[in-house]
Structure formats: structure tokens, C-alpha cells
Structure 1
Amino acid sequence: MGFTTSTFKTVDDETIFYYKWPSDKNIPLKGIVQIAHGVGEHAGRYYPIAEKLQNEGFEVYANDHRIHGKSVKNHDYLGYYDGDDYFLDALNDMRKLTEIIQKEHPKKKIILFGHSMGSLLSREYVTKYGDDLDALILSGTASFMKGLGPVGLFSADILGKINGKHRSNELLKSLFFTQFNKKFKPNRTKVDWISSDEDQVDLFEADPLRVEDFSLSVFRDILKGTKKISLTETFENTPKDLPILIFSGDKDPVGEMGKGVQKVANKYKKAGIKDLTLRLYEGGRHEMLNEINKNEVEQDVINWLNDRIKA
């Protein structure tokens, strides 16, 4: 069925690019899935799951976060951020897309699907706008990493004062992405940590829209955001009746090999979330939708949705 693309203007006059995968008109519309992608990638990578959701009676919207994908003036601006709070800006952009969805589909059910950084943004999003949502799906999410999180945040603050927050920084990139990859030595590529499927890893490495270098403030703001959403109040401010699916690989270094993901699930459970599902896939790395068992994962997501969202 394919997709369409469009753009919208933000409150600070940035242009945000987004995709729309229309639902199958021969199937009753169940709801709208809004996807928030991860750091360094772009929304176009989600076309396989978007097409499957189309065939299940869902419509899918996904924006390229600012400084990502096609939400930049040109390739030179990929990863460059000169704002005050990247986490907040990206969150507000997601809200703008939700408002577009609400205008085009009044009173229709909306499901928020966030991967990695997108999952962190989504966890904050539901504390503000959770009443507008009917379900939340978190892929490759994380807790505030013990050791690495505080060290990274401290380093980002110091380096920002020395070098300026808008410049990229090899030290921070190494601190995170290189550390993630070390879990899978001997390394074949710089991004072995995303999937055990070598074809998917190669596709990502060759993707012209992949972002490797970021302004220092992007690291800092994501770390600050992660620290904030790891507080008890974030979990307690999540609507108790919102169904939540959390899935990840148990070899995902972002999720601390499952431990961080389990910690997030436990905090939601303790906060009183009534419908909480956690799936940790054995041997899976960071991108379960691009793993060797991706068909199984996609079907699990669809089955979970169909059990909760009726046309």
C-alpha cells in the first residue's frame, strides 16, 4: 500500500519530516500507531513493521526527530543541535505529530511506540499526555545506567563548558557506542551491538541517513532526560490503566543485558500499572525488529496490540 510523506513546522520554526502509512481501507480501522525512533537512525527504517501494521488495520505515523533523517536542511546538519534542551524539543515535536493525528482521526485510538531514545521520550510523554493514548510500546529501553550514566553526564557537563555544547565529542561517543560494541568482540563493524543479523548491521552501516556524530548537548540532554524518567515520580505519573508492552533483547547493552529493562518493568509494576507485559528475547541485541527472529517479534507485537485494541 505504500506511504506518504509530509512536514510540519515546530514552535521554534524547525521543519520536521514525517511518514504516514495509511491503513488498508478494506479493513476496519483499529487505531493509529505513532512511532518514535532511536538516536542516530530515522523513521524510514520502520517500514517493515509499519506495513505489517497496515495490514492489521492500523495506520502508522512516524517523524524523523530533529537533527535526524530528513528533518535537516542538508546532510551537513545531521547530528548538529544548537537549541537549549534536545530532549524537551524532541518531545514537543512528538506532541505536534500527535495533534496532527488527532485532527486527521478524531476520537480514534492512538498507540505510542518508542524505540531506544524514542522509548525514553515516550516514557516522559505519557506522564504529560497519557490520557490521549490507548497503549504504550517500549522497544530497547533503558534505565539510568549505573556507573556509565553519572560518568557520562558529568563528562558532558565539563566538556560542554570547555569545548562548547554544540560541537561533537569523540570521548563521549567512545564512552557509549564503543563500550556497547565491546560486548561483542571480536567486532566485525562499529555497530555489532544493534543486531546479530549481519545483513541488518551492514544495511545500517551503509545507510546515508545514519548519524554518527552529535553535538555534545544531545548526549547531555538525553542523559539528563534518562535520569529524570528513571525517578519514581515518572512511573507514578504514568496512567495506571495504560497497557504497556516492553520488549528487548537480553543481550542489549543499552538495557544492561536485560537488567536495566527488568528494572524499568519492575518500577512500572510497583507504580501500579494494571496491564504490563515484559518480553526479553534470548540472545537478542538492541534492535529486536531487526534481529534474526524479527518475524517472531513483529508477530508478538501485533498479537499484543490486537488483544487490546479492537476496531
Structure 2
Amino acid sequence: MDTPISVHKDLTFNSSCDGLKIYYDIYEPSPLPSRPIIIQIAHGMVEHKARYEWAASNLAQKGFIVAINDHRGHGKSIDKSHPWGEMRGLGDTESQVNQDSKNHTNTDKSRAESTDGFRRAVKDMHQLTEILKSRYNDSKFVLLGHSMGSLLSRGYLKLYVSELDALILSGSPAYNPLIGVGKTLAQILKILTLESQGKNIINALSFGGFNRPFLHNVGEDNAKGGFAWLCRDKAVVEAYKADSACQFVFSLSSFIGLFAGMQWVNDTHDVQAEHLPLLVASGNRDSCGDFGIGVEKIARQYEKCGLDVELVLYEGARHEILNETNKTQVLNDMIAFINNAIESK
């Protein structure tokens, strides 16, 4: 039987990185459990926390406390210096970033202090964790990251592993060994002050091919640059296309930070998380994850690091498995994983 829930929307905290107001929601079961399990969700790129209302509500109805924030430059976590698509902040110049990098050692903790918007987003996530753990005593903590949120969660794993009781990576992007080329190109375009044209070029190179496998799917958003690759539920795709908060393009600095972040999290030699339960879940028709091939490589990476890895590839499912036609199955599998992971602690 589902538990009644209460929802607290648009709570805020000021980022310790630069003071940006970060918006977040909390979904609570009523009454609160004596030993709660917190699930913190990290959403993907060019979307926002409201798109996870179904998943968060259903998890809360099953007795979990769920929290999700809008990442910087997304949703409501914006201001004049951080419009949609700008994660670092318009006030930070490239020279500041370069100087910041010189001033730090090579430890992961110091890297996270950089002005890179990607790593600032990881720090924002951890700041929310601290708020949640202070609010809910004696709790267990699970991080669930989707797409770019899974990349941020992998960065979180490198920096804040002691916070985690379990980790779930959903719709993980496959690693492209040419990511360094993309980063260099974005840097050149920024030096040439080609922001408007440049960010569209990088966006097309990064995402333009995702819909190619679905160009012949009649009745779907099968145009080049379309969004059939998101999921099989046409209503979800149309809602995404109609949502103004999902129709922006990353700035060049945000792309540079994203590409650097992908390189950073793909280097797992320093991950120390032996026996941490990890669920890697994706659709086997997710072009972002190279149809499961790239996702399986990620799972194998973390197995070598000593994590207790469970890999699930859903037949026919595409990128957004929590919005897919089999989303109830996906959520039930995640709940089973969490319960097993916490019971084994």
C-alpha cells in the first residue's frame, strides 16, 4: 500500500562556490520513517527537476525521502550571471579559470574547487546532501544520477564516497575518446569570441547524431536533430519539445567544463569505493550510451575498482528510462536494488 506524501517545492540554498541560489524539492512519506533512506536525484543536461516528479512521488510513496535540485544554469537555478546553459558563471573569465588551475594541487578535492561549472555542480550536490543529512538524522543515503547527472554523480563518487550507501547511474553517456578534441575546439571557438555560432556547432557535433538511428521511425520525432532518441513515449517527447526550460544550448564554457568533467570521471584509477553497491541501468536502444556498449564499459570499469556492480540493460528502451514505456519496471528494479543494498550494510 502506498504511503501518503508531502512535497516541499522550490526550497533554496546559496551555493558555497559563488552564491548562486540553488532550487530544490523534497518529497517525504508521511509519517517519516524512524530510519529514513534518502534518495538524491541528479537530473540530466538541458532539463530540470520538475521532469522527475513522477519518479520522485512514486519513490516517496514507497517510503523513501527524495530530493532533487536544479543544477546551476538549469531550471530555476539561474540568475543574470548564470542564464540557462551557463554553469560556470558569466563573471568568470578564462584567465581566472587558468589561474585557478595553477593555484591548486592535483588532488581531487582541489580540482573540485576550480571555477569549472561541472565541478561546481558536483559541489552544489554535496551541499544539498549535507542539508538533507542534517534534516534527517540517522539516515541512509543513495545518489541517483541520470545522463549528465550520472557524470556528476561519478564525480561525486570520486570526491565524497564516504557519504554514499549506494549509487545508481541511469542513462550514462558512453565515453568518446575524441572528447579532448571537442574540448580543444570549444576552447578555440571561445578564444575567437564565436560564442553564438560556436556553441551551436559544438551542440550539433555532440548531439546531432543521437537521433540518426530513429530517422525511419514513422510517427515519431524522426527528423535530423529530433528527440525520438529520448524515449518511446511520444507524449514525453512532445512535452520536452514544448518545454522552454528544455530548449536552450550550453555555453562554450559549459561545454568545456562538461568535456573536462567527462575526462575526469572516466579516469577511475583513484576511485576508492570497495563493495559500494552500484546499479548501472540503461536502455539497450540508448544511442547516448552507444546502445549499451558504452554503458557496459562503465560497469566493468567500476567492477575493477571493487564496487559491487549490477548492470541492467532494458530491451528496446532508449535514453530516459524513468520516462520510458516500461518506467514502472525500471523504478521497481531500482527500489529492489536500494532495499537490498541497504539491508546488506
Q: Deviations over 1:118-158 (max 9, x none)?
A: 101111111211111110000011242144x2332232122
Q: Is the 8 A contact 1:29 1:57 kept in 2?
A: no
Matches within 5 A, 1:221-260: 221-233=257-269, 236-260=270-294
What TM-score, normalized to structure 2? 0.83
Structure 1, unaligned runs of 5 or more: none
Partner of 1:122: 153
Indicate the residue corresponding to 2:295 in structure 1: 261
Deviates more, 1:65-74 or 1:246-255: 65-74
Aligned to 1:133: 164
8 Å Cα contact 2:186-2:198 kept in structure 1: no
Q: Take 1:42 and 1:69, find their aligned partners in 2: how far apart are those partners?
A: 5
1:171 maps to which of 201, 217, 238: 201
| Percent of residue pairs identical | 38
One-letter code aligned to 2:125: M
Conservation of the 8 A alpha-carbon contact between 2:14 and 2:20: yes
The two structures, once aligned, show a CA RMSD in angstroms of: 2.1
For normalisation by structure 1, the TM-score amounts to 0.92
| Aligned residue pair count | 306
Is the 8 Å Cα contact of residues 157 and 220 (structure 1) preserved in structure 2?
yes
- Measure the CA separation in 1 of the matches of 2:186 and 2:198: 11
Where do residues 83-122 of structure 1 align in structure 2 (5 Å cutoff)?
Answer: 83=92, 84-122=115-153
Question: Matched residue of 1:209: which SS?
Answer: helix
- Which digits, 9 at most, give the CA deviation of each residue in 1:14-59, with x for residues without a partner? 1000000012317555410011100000111111111121122110
- Is residue 23 of structure 2 the alignment partner of residue 17 of structure 1? yes
Which letter maps to 1:258? Answer: G
Can you list the C-alpha shifts for 1:88-109, whole angstroms capped at 9, x where unaligned? 1101110110110111012311
| Distance in 2 (alpha carbons) for counterparts of 1:24 and 1:104 | 15
Corresponding position of 1:195: 231
Corresponding residue of 2:79:
73
Please give the alpha-carbon distance, in whole angstroms, between the structure 2 residues aligned to 1:167 and 1:62.
32
- The one-letter code of the counterpart of 1:282 is E
Distance in 2, matches of 1:188 and 1:68, equals: 26
* Residue 59 of structure 2: aligned partner: 53
Distance change in 2, residues 1:32/1:168 (3 Å):
farther
The answer to whether the 8 A contact 2:214-2:222 is kept is no
Alignment of 1:200-219 (within 5 A): 200-219=236-255
Higher relative contact order (CA 8 A, sep 6+): 1
Could you say what secondary structure the match of 2:202 adopts?
helix
Q: Quick check: 1:250–1:282 contact (8 Å CA) kept in 2? A: yes
The separation in 2 between residues aligned to 1:193 and 1:51, in whole angstroms, is 25
Q: Partners in 2 of 1:299 and 1:44 — Cα distance?
A: 21
2:324 matches 1:291: yes
Partners of 2:138 and 2:34 lie apart in 1 by 15
Where 1:145 maps in the other structure, the secondary structure is coil
Structure 2 gaps of 5+ residues are 93-114
Deviations 1:57-90 (A, max 9, x none): 110111000110011138x921134243111110
Cα distance, 1:227 vs structure 2: 1.0
